[in-house]
Amino acid sequence: MTKKQPIIAVIGGGDCNQEEARLAEEVGRELAKLGATIVCGGLGGVMEAACKGASAEGGVTIGVLPGDDRRAANPHVQIPIVTNLGYARNVTVVKSSQAVIAIGGNYGTLSEISHALQSGIPVIGLDTWTISRNGKEDKTIITAKSPAEAVDKALKLAKESNDQD
Amino acid sequence: MTKKQPIIAVIGGGDCNQEEARLAEEVGRELAKLGATIVCGGLGGVMEAACKGASAEGGVTIGVLPGDDRRAANPHVQIPIVTNLGYARNVTVVKSSQAVIAIGGNYGTLSEISHALQSGIPVIGLDTWTISRNGKEDKTIITAKSPAEAVDKALKLAKESNDQD
Amino acid sequence: MTKKQPIIAVIGGGDCNQEEARLAEEVGRELAKLGATIVCGGLGGVMEAACKGASAEGGVTIGVLPGDDRRAANPHVQIPIVTNLGYARNVTVVKSSQAVIAIGGNYGTLSEISHALQSGIPVIGLDTWTISRNGKEDKTIITAKSPAEAVDKALKLAKESNDQD
Amino acid sequence: MTKKQPIIAVIGGGDCNQEEARLAEEVGRELAKLGATIVCGGLGGVMEAACKGASAEGGVTIGVLPGDDRRAANPHVQIPIVTNLGYARNVTVVKSSQAVIAIGGNYGTLSEISHALQSGIPVIGLDTWTISRNGKEDKTIITAKSPAEAVDKALKLAKESNDQD
Would you say how long chain A is, in residues? 165
pLDDT in tens, D107-138: 999 999 999 999 999 999 999 999 999 889 99
Residue B164: predicted pLDDT:
65
Minimum Cα–Cα distance from A127: chain B residue? B134
Residue D94: predicted pLDDT:
98
Say if the Cβ atoms of A114 and B134 lie within 8 Å: no
* Residue B57, φ and ψ in degrees, nearest 5: -105, 15
Helix, strand, or coil here: A144?
coil
Residue D3: predicted pLDDT:
57
The enclosing H or E element of D82 equals strand D79-82
Strands D123-126 and A79-82: unpaired
Taking the C-alpha atoms of residue D124 and residue D9, their distance in angstroms, rounded to an integer, is 10
Chain D contact set for B85 (CB, 8 A): 84-86, 88
Amino acid identity, residue A129? W
pLDDT in tens, chain C (165 residues): 555 689 999 999 999 999 999 999 999 999 999 999 999 999 999 999 999 999 999 999 999 999 999 999 999 999 999 999 999 999 999 999 999 999 999 999 999 999 999 999 999 999 999 999 988 999 999 999 999 999 999 999 999 887 765
Residues in chain D where the model's pLDDT stays below 70: 1-4, 164-165
Say if the Cβ atoms of C85 and D88 lie within 8 Å: yes
Say if the Cβ atoms of B88 and D84 lie within 8 Å: yes
Say if the Cβ atoms of A3 and D78 lie within 8 Å: yes
Neighbouring C-beta atoms of residue B47, cutoff 10 Å = 31
Taking the C-alpha atoms of residue C135 and residue C133, their distance in angstroms, rounded to an integer, is 5
Residue C135: predicted pLDDT:
86
Q: Is the overall model pTM greater than 0.95, yes or no?
A: yes
pLDDT in tens, chain B (165 residues): 555 689 999 999 999 999 999 999 999 999 999 999 999 999 999 999 999 999 999 999 999 999 999 999 999 999 999 999 999 999 999 999 999 999 999 999 999 999 999 999 999 999 999 999 988 999 999 999 999 999 999 999 999 887 765
Neighbouring C-beta atoms of residue A62, cutoff 10 Å = 24
Minimum Cα–Cα distance from C103: chain D residue? D133
Neighbouring C-beta atoms of residue A72, cutoff 10 Å = 16
Residues in chain A where the model's pLDDT stays below 70: 1-4, 164-165
Taking the C-alpha atoms of residue C8 and residue C28, their distance in angstroms, rounded to an integer, is 10
State the ipTM, two decimals. Answer: 0.96
- Could you say which of D75, D92, D165 has the minimum Cβ distance to residue A71? D165
Say if the Cβ atoms of B85 and A88 lie within 8 Å: yes
Residue C2: predicted pLDDT:
53
- Closest by alpha carbon to B23, among B155, B116, B144? B144
- Could you say which of B70, B71, B92 has the minimum Cβ distance to residue C82? B92
Chain C contact set for D64 (CB, 8 A): none
Q: Among D1, D60, D82, pick the best mutation site for testing chain A contact (most A Cβ within 10 A).
A: D82
* Residue A23, φ and ψ in degrees, nearest 5: -60, -45
Strands B130-133 and B136-138: antiparallel
Residue B161: predicted pLDDT:
82
- Could you say which of D1, D75, D84 has the minimum Cβ distance to residue A60? D1
Order of strands across the sheet with A136-138? A136-138, A130-133, B130-133, B136-138
Taking the C-alpha atoms of residue C114 and residue C133, their distance in angstroms, rounded to an integer, is 13
Chain D contact set for B84 (CB, 8 A): 85-88
pLDDT in tens, C78-109: 999 999 999 999 999 999 999 999 999 999 99
Taking the C-alpha atoms of residue A3 and residue D103, their distance in angstroms, rounded to an integer, is 25
Chain A contact set for B135 (CB, 8 A): 130
C79 neighbors C42 (Cβ within 8 angstroms): no
Minimum Cα–Cα distance from A66: chain D residue? D92
How many angstroms separate the Cα of C8 from the Cα of each of C66, C144, C159, D9, D108? 19, 15, 11, 33, 21
- Could you say which of B111, B119, B133 has the minimum Cβ distance to residue A129? B133
Instruction: Give DSSP secondary structure letters for A65-91.
Output: ESSS-GGGS-TT-SEEEE---GGGHHH
Amino acid identity, residue D130? T
Q: How far is CA C33 from the centre of its chain?
A: 16
- Could you say which of B91, B108, B129 has the minimum Cβ distance to residue A132? B129
Residue D5: predicted pLDDT:
84
